[in-house]
């Protein structure tokens, strides 16, 4: 039930950290902040939960850890995440809250996202559900394995509603497909050097939203 007032930027140690909507979103709830991708509201949420909880959730969702997917060459990424001690500096916590300076692999991201929408279950990711021989006989079935519970079923239900609103009326309306109830989240990553104003735009989604 918390709300956050986005005026377009938040001053941290005298430096403004901007929302993409420089005029500001005004008062945002948790749900509308996700719908609108409001940086200022997300920074407020991070301040509320604090560095310890933020770092704990990074670990709970598998960021910084190998997923052990059945593909070669998965890198170690622990050094890419800010530690709890580093997040104690509010500038780090604030920018990490909306994804700036936060690094992940696509497999980690997909695995974590799936747990948010499937009832909070974080599964061991696999490339295939079964392996067959040349004759089409199943040599090995890849059974799903739940590694941990990230969030509750109730929280998952709320998150699905929020992610549906992103596509219905938020930053992800271009991702709606006729005949499908799509849910998801947009992402905008600023490329280095930031002075050149180049971005990578992304979307991660799922169907059906129900």
Q: Which of 98, 81, 96, 84 is nearest to 33 (CA)?
A: 98
Position 24 scores a pLDDT of 97
Q: What is the pLDDT of residues 63-112, one digit of tens each?
A: 999 999 999 999 989 999 999 999 999 999 999 999 888 889 999 999 99
The answer, yes or no, to whether residue 171 has pLDDT greater than 90, is yes
What average pLDDT does range 171-182 have in this prediction? 96
Position 191 scores a pLDDT of 85
CA 189 to chain centre: 12
What average pLDDT does range 4-10 have in this prediction? 97
The answer, yes or no, to whether residue 189 has pLDDT greater than 90, is no
Note whether 170 and 36 are within 8 A (CB): yes
Give CA–CA dist 206/198, Å, rounded. Answer: 27
Look at phi and psi of residue 99 and say left if phi exceeds 0, alpha if psi is from -120 to 50, else beta: left
- For 10, counting Cβ atoms within 10 Å of its Cβ (0-12 exposed, 13-18 middle, 19+ buried), the class is buried
Helix, strand, coil percent values for the chain (each to nearest 5): 40, 20, 40
Lowest-confidence region among 40-44, 48-52, 138-142, 192-196:
192-196
Q: Which of 124, 116, 125, 110 is nearest to 204 (CA)?
A: 110
- DSSP annotation of 127 reads S
What average pLDDT does range 185-192 have in this prediction? 88
Structure tokens at 65: 């850890």
Q: What is the pLDDT of residues 15-55, one digit of tens each?
A: 999 999 999 999 999 999 999 999 999 999 999 999 999 99
Query: pTM here?
Result: 0.90
Position 51 scores a pLDDT of 97
Q: What is the mean pLDDT of the chain?
A: 94
């Amino acid at each position: 039930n918390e709300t956050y007032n986005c005026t377009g930027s938040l001053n941290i140690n005298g430096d403004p950290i901007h929302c993409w909507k420089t005029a500001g979103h005004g008062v945002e709830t948790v749900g509308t902040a996700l719908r609108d991708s409001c940086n200022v509201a997300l920074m407020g949420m991070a301040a509320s939960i604090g560095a310890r909880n933020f770092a704990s959730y990074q670990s709970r969702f598998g960021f910084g850890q190998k997923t052990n997917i059945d593909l070669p060459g998965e890198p170690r990424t622990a050094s890419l995440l800010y530690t709890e001690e580093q997040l104690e500096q509010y500038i780090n916590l604030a920018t990490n809250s909306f994804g700036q300076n936060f690094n992940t692999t696509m497999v980690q991201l997909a695995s974590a996202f799936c747990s948010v929408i499937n009832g909070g279950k974080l599964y061991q990711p696999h490339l295939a559900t079964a392996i067959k021989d040349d004759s089409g006989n199943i040599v090995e079935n890849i059974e799903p394995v739940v590694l941990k519970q990230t969030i509750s079923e109730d929280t998952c239900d709320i998150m699905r509603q929020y992610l549906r609103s992103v596509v219905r009326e938020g930053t992800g309306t271009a991702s709606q497909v006729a005949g499908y109830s799509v849910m998801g989240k947009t992402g905008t990553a600023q490329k280095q050097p930031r002075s050149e104003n180049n971005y990578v735009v992304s979307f991660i989604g799922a169907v059906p939203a129900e």
